[in-house]
Amino acid sequence: MTISVTVWNEYRHEREHDEVAELYPEGIHGAIADALREADGDTGSEFEVRTATLDEPEHGLTEDVLAETDVLTWWGHAAHDEVADEVVERVREHVLDGMGLIALHSAHYSKIFTALMGTTCSLKWREAAETERLWVVEPSHPIAAGVDEYIEVPEAEMYGERFDVPQPETLVFNSWFEGGEVFRSGCCYTRGEGRVFYFRPGHETYPVYHQPEIRQVLRNAVAWAAPGEGASSATGNSDPVEPIDTDDDRSVH
């Protein structure tokens, strides 16, 4: 199966800070796109990858692009407010209609993620290059395929509970940080017909998206979030499937 992926990035830190540009010379979107392109059949899927960024017209997320997108990945941080509401609504409608969404790291505060969650999505944070261990708490889940008992990120920004999101339908990773906090760092949701995965790692001043285990999870997550064949569904006023016995209907007597 070929999955069409659009990797979206705010793409500001990389252009404004040398330190970030050195870590992500092709942008964070470039690193994520590479992680998907290096798929070797490990997820049973191949990825057709395009990228889109904030400063493109319509943020690169036109109706045509979204109509061709099976899964959208989202990285944003400093410019959430600059994302046009009209584009957010367009993305939301596509998710409800079956497009997968992977919200990464500081995308917890993106307009699209908070709209889909309906909560503040606030959390505790600290930037101190500390160790993070993402413990796999649902080892049979496809997003954890090929991962060891835990993934260790040597230098991470801390995100701590409480993370104000709805209870995940499935929690795949639970993080521990050197400073003592814990965090639900791999959360699965369904919204309408779309699958949504929040994945915590990915701060712009650490090389997290170059780490092989994290890249594996990105591939797994995109494969998981892609729309399947699905069942057909109908809504609205409906004729009965079986004839209804109206003899016992008191309203007609």
Give me the residue whose beta carbon is nearest to Zn ion. Answer: 203
Q: Which of 94, 111, 203, 219 binds Zn ion (CB under 5 A)?
A: 203
| Choices 25-33, 40-48, 100-108, 164-172; region in contact with Zn ion by CB under 5 A | 100-108
Number of residues forming the site for Zn ion (CB under 5 A): 3
Sheet of 71-75, strand order? 46-53, 2-9, 71-75, 100-104, 194-199, 182-191, 170-177, 124-136, 150-160
Rank residues 77 and 90 by Cβ distance to Zn ion and give the closer one. Answer: 77
Contact between 10 and Zn ion per CB under 5 A: no
Contact between 12 and Zn ion per CB under 5 A: no
Contact between 181 and Zn ion per CB under 5 A: no
Contact between 13 and Zn ion per CB under 5 A: no
Which single residue is written with the structure tokens 């997550």? 221
Rank residues 8 and 47 by Cβ distance to Zn ion and give the closer one. Answer: 8
Q: How far is the CB of 201 from Zn ion (least distance, A)?
A: 10
Q: How far is the CB of 105 from Zn ion (least distance, A)?
A: 6
Q: How far is the CB of 208 from Zn ion (least distance, A)?
A: 9
Q: Using an 8 Å Cβ cutoff, are 152 and 133 in contact? A: yes
| Choices 105-113, 130-138, 213-221, 244-252; region in contact with Zn ion by CB under 5 A | 105-113
Q: Which of 10, 14, 70, 157 binds Zn ion (CB under 5 A)?
A: 157
Contact between 90 and Zn ion per CB under 5 A: no
Give the chain's largest Cα–Cα span.
81
By CB under 5 A, name the binding residues for Zn ion: 106, 157, 203
